[in-house]
Amino acid sequence: MTLPRRSFWSNVAAVAYKEASVIRHDRAFLATVFAQPVMMLLLMGMVLSTKPANVPWAILDQSQTSLSRRFLREVELTGYFLPPRPVASYDEGQSLLKEGACLALVIVPQSFRRDFERGRPQAQLLLDGSDPLTAARIGAYMAEIAAAFEVRPEVSRNGPAASRQRGPIDVRQRFWFNPTLRDRNFFLAAVAGMLLTNLCLSATSLGLVAEREAGTFEQMLSLPTTALEIVLGKLVPSIAIAYAVFLFATLAAGVFFGVWPRGSWVALVLVTLPFVLASLGIGVFVSTLARTSAQAVFITVFFIMPSFVLSGVMFPYQFMPHGVREIGGMFPLRWYQIALRRIIERGAGLAEVALPALVMTALFLIILVAIRWRMRPRLA
């Protein structure tokens, strides 16, 4: 019995040595494996944060007094907010909230100074509640600033300076699109984007690699078809599967959790197409880069994880530093989650999601050019 045992373990050691030698010489695979933890450590340690920063907001100052301007200026000087966008009417501010151009709208009433002198100053704060965590954080910071607001001492004509008066401002908060700040609304609105990203990249990233490993890649290239025709032909079945998953996720969120799209279903279906095409295109591009199935899998994960983190489906992309935020804009999921939340939570129509749809279409065309460039030497 001793000899078979030695033979068994020696065979295992021989196979393990062979596989280790293959992996050791596969530099692309090793680079991808070790690049992922470095990337995630940098994202988690330096980029992601739930602390408000670069918050877009608008102001409707009906008071137009030095007191109201100083209050709004103190809000801006906290460093959490971008320079405010003045609006001329309540309807204009409401449109900005619906479009996602601002996350907060501060309304200072015309009687602000008179109410302040009487000790009952008030201001209204409208918040985009489609992201509950962001809305709660912004509301808390705004209330803290208003509670600490003070009137500066003024010099009296008859003698010494008047005493400093504390004037806490009562900020009446109202959350739009998600009044109860339910977290499920935030996540379920974009769950279809996460599922489709995973499906589309996984479904197509192994396509050309599998044919290359099976020895049928050259046979496919010998057919009277162009690179573009091959790519589009491979995408069509996956598009049908992607739409089935999309409909299932959308209907399940409505039936089981009550999160139905408030906006146009036509816009929802139409804006999904460029996203699916762009995501499938990334998968095909990965397939042209990888030489083995293992490389394709790891490169796919390399795309999927940053897409989830930088797109805004889990963390607000508005809070990310400049540079990283722009990198996230290169992923189709960034624009698709914007379109999804506008339609599902804010009740938007096709016009409100036209820009994300155009960006995703442009990304798909750029990816097609890159795929053609990668496949051209193999088609010669």
Give the pLDDT confidence score for residue 244 in this predicted structure: 93
Are 309 and 206 part of one and the same domain? yes
Residues 300, 160 share a domain:
no
| Residues found in the chain | 380
Q: Which long-range contacts (CB under 8 A, 24 or more apart) does 215-224 make?
A: 217/378, 221/378, 221/379
Do 98 and 238 reside in the same domain of the chain? Answer: no
Residues ≥6 apart with Cβ < 8 Å to 31 = none
Kindly state whether residues 189 and 278 are assigned to the same domain. Answer: yes
Q: Provide the pLDDT for residue 33.
A: 67
Residue 157 maps to which CATH number? 3.40.1710.10
User: Based on the number of CB atoms within 10 Å of its own CB, is 154 exposed (0-12), middle (13-18) or buried (19 or more)?
Assistant: exposed
What is the structure's pLDDT at 194?
Answer: 92
**Rounded CA gap, 141 and 136, in Å?**
9
290 by DSSP, 3-state: which?
A: coil
Same domain, 237 and 329: yes
Q: What is the pLDDT at residue 156?
A: 45
Q: Are residues 208 and 357 in the same domain?
A: yes
Domain enclosing residue 130, as ranges: 57-180
243 and 97 within one domain = no
pLDDT of residue 222: 59
pLDDT at 228: 67
Q: How far is CA 98 from CA 61, 196, 249, in A?
A: 20, 25, 24
- pLDDT tens by residue, the chain, 380 residues: 455 556 777 877 777 777 778 777 777 667 766 766 776 677 667 666 667 778 889 999 999 998 889 889 988 888 888 899 999 998 999 888 888 888 899 999 998 888 888 888 889 999 998 888 888 888 888 888 888 876 554 444 444 444 445 457 888 898 988 888 888 888 899 999 999 999 888 888 876 666 666 665 555 555 566 666 777 777 888 889 999 999 999 999 999 999 999 999 999 999 999 999 999 999 888 888 877 777 787 788 778 888 888 888 887 777 777 777 888 889 999 999 999 999 999 888 999 899 999 999 999 999 988 888 877 644 44
- The answer on 103 and 141 residing in a single domain is yes
- Establish if 275 belongs to a structural domain: yes
Does the residue 38 lie in any domain?
no
Q: Which residues contact 213 (CB under 8 A, 6 or more apart)?
A: 292, 293
Quote the pLDDT of residue 155. Answer: 45
What is this structure's pTM? 0.77
pLDDT of amino acid 212: 66
Q: Enumerate the β-bridge partners of residue 151.
A: 165
Radius of gyration of the chain (CA): 28
Domain count for the chain: 2
